Amino acid sequence: MLTIPVSFTSPVVISVSILTAIGVYVLFGPEPKDRRKKGHPGGLINYGNNCFANAIVQCLASSSIFIYWLDQHVQNNRVTQILLDLIQSINGQSSSFSQDSTVAKLIDHMCQPRWSSPFEQQDSHEFLLSLINTLTHKKSTRPKQLGFAACLDSDEQDDTQSMMINESPLVSPHPFQGLQATQLQCNECRHKNPISMSLFESLSLVIPDRQTASPLTLAVRQQQNFALQELIGNYLKAEMITNLTCKQCKSKGNLSHRKITTFSRLPEILCLHIIRTTWTNEGWPIKNTSHVSFPDLLDMNPFISLSRLLPANLPPTQPIKKPSNAFYRLNSVLVHLGGISEAGHFIVYRRRVDNKGWLSISDDSVRECSDLQVFASMAYILFYERVKK
C-alpha cells in the first residue's frame, strides 16, 4: 500500500506520487495468499507511510549473519527482542507468523516520534542508522588516534584491542560496524600525522558528475552508467586540505596536507548507500537516475591498502599482516521508486530463504523475480555479506 503525503501541495510532486502509486500496483498488484507454500517470506503491512521501515526490516531479515547476532544479543533491550520476533515471523521461523505483520511495535519502542508519523515519508537509510544505534546503545564514534597495528584487519586481532576501539557496551562489534583509518601528510616535508580511526555502519557513495567538453544538461548526464567499484574508489581518493600547520617542519600559512583514507577493518555486513539526491542550478533537489552496476560477488581487497598509512620509521623488512578475507556476496537491494524521496516508495530485492533465486518485495506483496531484474535495478542501498573462507 502506498499513501501520498498530505503535506505536499505542489502539482508536480502530487503527479509524481500518483504515477509512482500506479506503477507500484502494476508491478506488484494484490498479493497472493499462498506465498508461504512457495517458501516465500511474509510481507509487511503498510499502515500509513512506513514503507521506508518495511524495506529495511526485509533487508535485515535476509541476512543470516545479522539474525545470528540479534539472537546472541536478544537480552540487551526490548527493541532487539521485538525485531528478532518480527524477523522470525516474516521468515516463517515462528509460530506467530501472520499475514498482517507490521513494524508498528518496533517503531513505537524506538521512542523517536519522527518515525511514528503515519503521513510523513522518511528515508530508509536514516532509519537503518537509527535502528542500529538503538540496538547497540552506541555511545560515541569520535575519531581515535591509534598505532599502526590497530589498522590491521586480521582474524588474529586481540579481543582487548577490539574493546578499546568499540565503546558499545556489547561484548563484540555488531556486524555492520567497520573501522576506517585516515591520516594527514604534509606536502612540504612528507611528515605523516598519527592515524585517526573512526567507526562506520555504512558507506555513503557519491555518483560522479562527469563533465565533457560540450555543455550537457543534467538530465542527459544522468543517463551515464557507473560501476560500484568506481564509487568506492572515489570514496577513498586522497583529498587536499589547506591552511594547516605542520608540527614537524613548523611551516605555516597556506600549507596543504594530503588526507589519506583506507579501511582498517571491514564489517561482516557491508552496507553501501548510493546518494541519489542532486541539485539543480536553481537549488531544487532532484533524483539522480544514473545506473550504478553492482556485482553479485564484490572483491574489497583492492580497497585495503595499508601501505598508504605506513609510519615513516617502520623498517621496510618488518612483515605486515595480510587482511582477512574481503570478498562479499550480495544479499539484498533496496530501491527507491519515484522522484524525490518525499513522493516515492521503497521496495526490496532479497534472496529467497533457500537461496534459490530472488524475490521482489513491496510492503505485503512478495513475488519471485529474475536475476536480470535485480541487477538492472536503480539501487539505493546495497547489503553485502562477507563470504566465509
The 10s digit of each residue's pLDDT in 334-381 is 999 988 745 689 999 999 888 889 999 999 999 999 999 999 999 999
Whether residue 103 is found in the same domain as residue 226: no
φ, ψ (nearest 5 deg) of residue 83? -65, -40
Mean pLDDT over 277-289 rounds to 83
Same domain (yes/no): 371, 257: no
Average pLDDT of span 298-307: 82
Residue 18: pLDDT over 80 = no
| Band of pLDDT at residue 382, cut at 50, 70 and 90 | very high
- Asked if residue 239 and residue 348 are part of one domain, the reply reads no
* Any domain includes 280: yes
Which of the listed residues 307, 324, 341 is the one where a domain comes to its end?
A: 324
Residue 233: what pLDDT?
94
- Pair 301, 340 in one domain: no
Query: For residues 62 and 353, which has the higher predicted lDDT (pLDDT)?
Result: 62
Residue 230 sits in the same domain as residue 309: yes
User: Which is nearest to 28 in space by CA: 20, 39, 36?
Assistant: 20
Range of weakest confidence among 42-46, 133-137, 230-234: 133-137
pLDDT given at position 327: 96
Do the Cβ atoms of 278 and 291 come closer than 8 Å? no
* pLDDT of res. 98: 54
Residues 6+ apart with CB under 8 A from 95: none
The domain boundary, picked from 281, 301, 324, lies at 324
CB atoms under 10 Å from CB of 257, counted, come to 22
| pLDDT tens digit sequence for 314-336 | 444 444 455 567 999 999 999 99
pLDDT at 217 over 80: no
Q: Which of 193, 181, 303, 307 is nearest to 257 (CA)?
A: 193
| Mean pLDDT (the chain, rounded) | 76
Asked if 110 and 52 sit in the same domain, the reply is yes
Beta strands in 136-177 (DSSP E): 144-146
> Are 191 and 247 within 8 A, CB to CB?
yes
Inside any domain, residue 386? no
pLDDT value, residue 238 = 86
Q: Which SS3 state, helix, strand or coil, does residue 365 take?
A: strand
Cα dist from 301 to 79, 153, 234, 252, whole Å = 35, 11, 15, 38
Report yes or no: 383 and 296 within 8 Å, Cβ to Cβ: no
Whether residue 243 has pLDDT greater than 50:
yes
Residue 3 pLDDT level (bands cut at 50, 70, 90):
very low
Residue 84 lies in a domain: yes
pLDDT at 191 (0 to 100): 82
Which whole number is the average pLDDT over 27-35? 48
Q: Mean pLDDT: which of 12-26, 118-132, 175-189 is highest?
A: 175-189
Instruction: Say whether pLDDT at 309 is over 50.
Output: yes
Provide the whole-model pTM: 0.78
- CB count, 10 Å around CB of 298? 21
Nearest 5°: phi and psi at 65?
A: -65, -45
- Residue 365's φ and ψ, nearest 5 degrees, are -100, 120
Taking residues 268-278, what's their average pLDDT? 94
Q: How sure is the predictor about 249, in pLDDT bands with cuts at 50, 70 and 90?
A: confident
Q: How many domains does the structure of the chain reveal?
A: 2
Q: Output the pLDDT for position 173.
A: 80
Q: Provide the domain limits for residue 40.
A: 1-139+333-377
Which CATH number covers residue 148?
3.90.70.10
Provide the percentage of residues in the chain whose pLDDT is more than 90: 38
Mean pLDDT of 57-76: 92
Judged on CB neighbours under 10 Å (0-12, 13-18, 19+), 91 is middle
Looking at residue 354, its pLDDT comes to 82
The confidence score (pLDDT) of residue 74 equals 81
Give me the pLDDT at residue 136, please: 85
More reliable by pLDDT, 12 or 257: 257
Q: Residue 99: what residue type?
A: Q
Residue 275 sits at φ, ψ, to 5 deg, of: -70, 120
User: 318 and 339 in one domain?
Assistant: no
pLDDT (tens digit, 9 = 90+) per residue, 127-183? Answer: 999 999 999 874 344 544 444 444 455 443 443 333 333 333 333 589 999 999 888
